[in-house]
Amino acid sequence: MNPQQSQETSEVIDRLGLILIMVLVLISRLYINFSPELMAGINTPYYPVQVRSLLETGKLGFPDLPFVFYLEAFFAKLLNFLGFCNISGCIMVSWKIIDAALYPLIALPVYLLTKSVARNVKASKWVLFLPSILIMVSFPALVMLGELQKNSIGLLWSTFYIYFLYKGVHSDKIIDYILAGIFFVLTGLTHLGAFGFIIAFSASFLLFSIILKREQRIYLKKIAVLLFLAAASISAFLFFFDPERFGRLASLITLPIKIFEQPMIFSFFKDPASTTLFYLMNPMGINANLIAILGLVLFVRKRKEIETQEKILLLAALSVTIFMGSPFLGVEWAQRLYIMAYIPTTIVYIFLLKYTASWWKKLLLTALVLFVTSAPTPMMLISGMKNTSSINKEAYVHLLELKEFIANPQETLVIARHGLEWWTAWTLEVDVSSRQDLDKKILHSYDAVFLLRQKAGKGQVGPPGPADQFPEVEIPPNATIIHEDEYFVLAKAPYTCNEF
């Protein structure tokens, strides 16, 4: 066998190995999604509710970025057309399959990025697969499974974008820039948080490019203008589909200091027990900083050896990792950003692997990264959190029975606690809210407004911290009780009460 044939055989084996890893992860994700009798988590019914609305009315039931819902609606319709299930069953199956199947594809851009960065390094084949494996089995990936589907798919697109951005700048091929642009747009149409992440990453990447590539500053400024125009276009799209989120984004851009209000670091002094629990359930808040410190040490020690283009990628990943894992982030933003910090952390890990010489040090580094990114995973699996719905089967059956009390579902609003509202929307086919302080104009736009309080049959799922973070709806004394059983109280909302 000549060297060229040997190399081709090696590449085929690499691809087969990568596919095998992705298939194993896919099977495990399908098992987790299809195992529970009811969808696990708090927000999972939100996806079927949106898809059903899209199929029945041609538009989303609640303002949101649309791509994932259109994708699931198309697949559900296809399954239904092929006769595999009725439309409601196909919606559920579509949600589970797309959630399980799309995310493992993230191994592909991570593997390609690893190969590109480590192209001149002689290392065992297993080293190239490590970042891909870690990014698929990390704790944030498990947390997002099912419940935070838009997050995980948005991060999938953003990882492809980072790879093609790096490849395009490195090879200067127009096709790479086109593909980077496609994944940039897909991210913007999928998830606002992931879109914010790639904007931050792009800004860092361009900033360090301008600093380190002085001879190409005019060229880089043109790219910056194009990225700005693309971001503006996505923002306009967001304004059309979800004006409320657009308003929050605009508010953050005009006053970015808001992201640091009520910083996490001060929470240790106010409520150390709850803050410690928060960090146990959001480990990337600490772990991203540990990897970033190692990355900074690497950069200082190896800065003369690292190529300019690699320096840009490493510095961009480091800066975004430090920002997304910062203890000075406000509590609300820490919850959003910590869970996504493993993406830039993985890029830093790729560089650590490349410049760690001996195999046992690579193995030790991998064990450390695996621990800091996946430490709570066994606890989550053993606790059954990925198999527990926010309501149990008996409560679900009783919730279905409430449908007889809803005369006109299309003109009815039901207010229920968070974790119950999406099951209510799915079973009763009504509009829902978890807020009791809604504007009177909104309330009077419905023929009927109901309050729904759950008495029994709650699943033990929710955010870490004090109990009852999702309190039940308060039913005022002057509300009219329509139905009450051992699981639920359904009352007609009094428009004269203070809450309304």
Q: Beta strand 448-454 with 412-415: parallel, antiparallel or unpaired?
A: parallel
User: How many Å apart are CA 19 and CA 16, to the nearest integer?
Assistant: 5
pLDDT of residue 163: 94
What's the pLDDT band for 437 if we cut at 50, 70, 90?
low
pLDDT of residue 206: 83
pLDDT of residue 13: 74
H or E stretch at 397? helix 393-401
**65 has a pLDDT exceeding 80:** yes
H or E stretch at 208? helix 192-212
**226 has a pLDDT exceeding 70:** no
Per DSSP, the three-state class of 491 is: strand
What's the pLDDT band for 225 if we cut at 50, 70, 90?
low
User: How many Å apart are CA 222 and CA 19, to the nearest integer?
Assistant: 38
pLDDT (average), residues 83-101: 91
pLDDT digits (tens, 9 = 90+) for 24-60: 989 989 988 888 888 888 888 899 999 999 998 888 8
pLDDT of residue 466: 37
Evaluate whether 457 touches 489 at the Cβ level (below 8 Å): no
Per DSSP, the three-state class of 59 is: coil
User: How many Å apart are CA 204 and CA 210, to the nearest integer?
Assistant: 10
Dihedral sign computed on CA atoms, order 346, 348, 354, 356: negative
| CB neighbour class for 119 (10 Å; exposed up to 12, middle 13-18, buried from 19) | exposed
What's the pLDDT band for 168 if we cut at 50, 70, 90?
confident
User: How many Å apart are CA 499 and CA 475, to the nearest integer?
Assistant: 10
pLDDT of residue 378: 62
Query: Which DSSP category does 330 fall into?
Result: B
Alpha helices in 63-191 (DSSP H): 67-81, 87-102, 107-117, 125-137, 139-144, 149-171, 174-188
Q: Which percentage of the chain shows pLDDT scores above 90?
A: 18
pLDDT digits (tens, 9 = 90+) for 297-354: 888 888 888 888 889 999 999 999 988 887 777 777 777 888 888 899 989 988 888 8
User: How many Å apart are CA 236 and CA 239, to the nearest integer?
Assistant: 5
**Closest to 95 in 3D by CA, of 190, 187, 21, 30:** 30
Pair of tokens at residue 303? 């800065």
**Closest to 369 in 3D by CA, of 399, 347, 395:** 347
CB count within 10 Å of CB 121 equals 12
pTM score, whole prediction: 0.85
Pair of tokens at residue 168? 């395009």
Residue with tokens 């968070």: 418
User: How many Å apart are CA 45 and CA 418, to the nearest integer?
Assistant: 12
Pair of tokens at residue 306? 């690292």
pLDDT of residue 72: 94
pLDDT (average), residues 427-447: 79
Rg (the chain; Cα; Å): 24
Dihedral sign computed on CA atoms, order 326, 228, 106, 302: negative
pLDDT (average), residues 112-118: 87
pLDDT of residue 496: 44
What's the pLDDT band for 258 if we cut at 50, 70, 90?
low
pLDDT of residue 467: 41
**Lowest mean pLDDT, pick from 43-57, 154-168, 371-385, 425-439:** 371-385
Highest mean pLDDT pick, 81-85, 328-332, 460-464, 472-476: 81-85
What is the DSSP annotation of 230-248?
HHHHHHHHHHHH-HHHHHH
Q: In this structure, what are the phi and psi dihedrals at residue 453, rounded to the nearest 5 degrees?
A: -120, 130
Dihedral sign computed on CA atoms, order 170, 173, 177, 180: negative
**161 has a pLDDT exceeding 90:** yes
